[in-house]
Amino acid sequence: MEPGWGIRDRDSRKQILAHVEGLSSSQLRSGDSWRFEYFTPTFAVFHFPTPRDASKSPGWLRGNELSRVQANPQSPIPASNMLNPQQRAAIDYCDGPLLVLAGAGSGKTRVITEKIAHLVKRKNLSASKIAAITFTNKAAREMRERVGKLLHGPAAEGLTVCTFHALGLKFLQIEHARANLRRGFSVLDADDSQGLIKELAPKGIKNDALWALQSLISRAKNEGLTPEQAADTSAGPREREAAQIYAAYQKRLGAFNAVDFDDLIRLPLQILEGDDAVRAAWQERIRYLLLDEYQDTNTAQYRLVRALAGERGMFTAVGDDDQSIYAWRGANPENLGELSRDYPKLKVIKLEQNYRCGRRILRVANALIANNAHLFEKKLWSEAAEGPPIRVLECRDDEHEAERVAAEIVHLAEKHKARWNEFAVLYRGNHQSRALEKALRIARVPYHLSGGTAFLERAEVKDLLAYLRLINNPDDDAAFLRIVNIPRRDIGATSLEKLGQAAGLRHLSMFRAAQHDSVLGELSARPASALAGFVNLVRELKRTADRTAAADLVDQLIERIGYADHIGAQIKEPELRARRIGNLKELSEWFRAMQKDGAAGDLAAQLALLTHGDRDDAGNAVRLMTLHSAKGLEFRFVFIVGVEEGSFPHEASVDEGRLDEERRLMYVGITRAKEQLALSFTRRKRRFGEIIANDPSRFLAELPPTDLHWSGRDAEQDEVQRKEVASSSIAKLAALFDD
């Protein structure tokens, strides 16, 4: 183990902490020869190649005592990591089921990655027998990178770090026959799924009703119910109708040799719970499970974990019931409590020390969340600096609020010499970004809007993926229907309907039906000829795919079908056209960056698992995002806007009895802030053409008054702040004229 060099402060034991927390991660790692490793309130550890290089450390270290820290090779935790006692206990305990209650900013990811290394190095468990499950591909990728720094070479081979859905996909690719699937099955995205459901739903169904129908089917799947079970447990005519369509929908998926996202959990669960031999084999394949963000699991995911862990319960589940904010998509924080009932010997360890937020921010967050009932009691604490009061900005309307926030950002950036990416503005709904975007543009502040059209949701990207799906799986009717007329081939809806009927009568997919002369003979000459040409094209591409790398296949596909010309014919604006064509090139790069081997269609299935957050690279820009999107992130300066009744908490959530979840969402927002936090609300709002009065959110009344500074209630402090902001704004304007 490499030794480290420690810096101990002579005068103030807390001074190092203050200095270190004031530096960004990029600053901490910017030196050529030194590397920041860890710090406590009294000690900071760095690595230098030689003692002489310590002289190149940041200026604030001068005058402090430099001492050698020798790592103990016999210690299960390297000394340089300096984990706190609770973190160390969570890593060391490997003898049974473990629940780690990890508060915001308490180092849960570090615990998971260090535990993986501990299992391999100290417990001699092969990495191939370990699976770490996350909720986003971004989190999985970051975790995999961090583990890679702890385990090198063969030691890390075979380790599984992925999302629940990716694990389900892997399971079905291995056990496809047991799920009545053929090799190379397709994974339908939400749009494809909705299109199939719409075909089966009553004619003329409205979009809201269609969405509700799709949600009911998804909910049944997330509870692990078959169509028959959904029918048996249905309550009322809407659920009975949904159960009937669910049954027809699954039959259609089976005919297409396809699954949807929910099936990636439901089908493995169904197999594991119903087949003792398969369950035993997979429990042997995965000897230890690590589960991140456990409070976000739904019923089916919990049952999947239980089936994989078995009675021995060799797992570590990491979660925080105070950060459960996804009930609307099926998450069940009660799963944390279910663990103790299903595993009576469950050990619980609490991570309560926060390494992110100032003490005042934590105190405010703790006071807020204390109004919720708790499965497990915990209270976050920090040895960081106290931090300034939480500012509460009272604004006239949305535009005034946006202008004030923009001015505050400019002021703080000037005052603290901060980068734009150290700021985040959070809100309850995406519509709240519009005024903020306008104000930031006027202030010439770069911003990045999270939640725009996801890369994989862009039409041109979905078109090419549909081609890959059909090349890989000729029975994928959803892919066939999407691209049979892209680029335009003049195959009308009437012809496609006739083709579908003929395919149904012959128990064939539409693509295979289109290969029969007898079927084409039932169509008029022009669409029949076009379909024959399309079939030959796909066959040719299939032959190419068998001997061509996926990325090269994408490039050839774009060229072969003339897709760039197709975009050019649709879009006349040069800039937009160039951007859309650029997306095609980026898709090819995605494939190139992924696994080197494997069929194109398999990779397309993997790509279907990616989310917008995986590609959400903001660069040096202020982040604008919903509170839900901010979970797992942290920023030096945070603004939460729209903190008023009806907006936050959301009116519908209050009506539906989900106030506790809204409060947890506020808690998540508050704990994103490292140094400074501002909350703003408006006195009036335009709604449906009317001006209505707003009241401050009830959440503001739940915060400690002594930790808040309300603008307008302290004339002296308000005047100081006003002058500082005005000075920054003038400097900004002067800079504009210097451009």
* Residue in 27, 109, 40 with CA at minimum distance from that of residue 69: 40
108 included as an active-site residue: yes
The one catalytic residue among 293, 296, 321, 707: 293
Report the C-alpha gap between 37 and 85 in whole angstroms. 18
Q: Choose, from 108, 360, 363, 378, the residue flagged as catalytic.
A: 108
Structure tokens at 6: 């420690």
Q: How many CB atoms lie within 10 A of CB 250?
A: 18
The H helix count followed by the E strand count for the chain is 32, 21
DSSP string of 1-25, one letter each residue: ---EEEEE-SS-TTHHHHHHHTS-H
- Tell me which amino acid residue 709 is: H
Q: Is 135 exposed, middle or buried, given 0-12, 13-18 or 19+ CB atoms closer than 10 A?
A: buried
- Any catalytic annotation for residue 293? yes
User: For residue 573, what are the contacts with CB-CB under 8 A and spacing of at least 6?
Assistant: none
Largest CA distance in the chain: 92
Give the C-alpha separation, 366 to 666, whole Å: 11
Q: Which residues pair with 99 in a beta bridge?
A: 317, 348
DSSP one-letter code for 334: T
Q: Is 323 a catalytic residue?
A: yes
Token duo for residue 552: 């090269």
H-state helical runs in 344-397: 359-369
Judged on CB neighbours under 10 Å (0-12, 13-18, 19+), 170 is middle
| DSSP per-residue letters across 136-155 | SHHHHHHHHHHHHHHS-GGG
Cα–Cα distance, 42 to 109 (Å, whole number): 23
Task: Please give the backbone phi and psi of residue 163, each rounded to the nearest 5 degrees, phi first.
Answer: -85, 170
Active-site annotation holds for 56 = no
Q: Of 21, 114, 263, 292, which residue is the catalytic one?
A: 292
Contacts of 297 (CB under 8 A, 6+ apart): 164, 291, 305, 331, 332, 335
C-alpha 103, offset from chain centre: 18
Which residue among the candidates 323, 606, 626, 676 is catalytic per the annotation?
323
105, 355 in Cβ contact below 8 A?
yes
Tokens of 629: 């999107």
Closest among 432, 360, 433, 230 to 676, alpha carbons compared: 360
Q: Choose, from 672, 674, 685, 732, the residue flagged as catalytic.
A: 672
Measured distance between the N- and C-terminal CA atoms of the chain, rounded to whole angstroms: 52
Residue in 15, 42, 109, 226 annotated catalytic: 109
Helix (H, G, I), strand (E, B) or coil at 709: strand
Does 109 qualify as catalytic in the annotation? yes
Specify whether 292 is catalytic.
yes
Distance CA 638, CA 105 (A): 15
Instruction: Give the DSSP H/E element, type plus range, for residue 102.
Output: strand 98-102
Q: Which of 507, 463, 503, 506 is nearest to 485 (CA)?
A: 463
Q: How many CB atoms lie within 10 A of CB 481?
A: 20
Cα 187 to Cα 317, 330, 453, 472, 605, distances in angstroms: 28, 21, 20, 12, 6
With contact defined as beta carbons under 8 Å apart, do 487 and 565 qualify?
Answer: yes
Q: 20, 12, 26, 76: which is closest to 46 by C-alpha?
A: 20
Provide the annotated active-site residues.
Answer: 108-109, 292-293, 323, 672
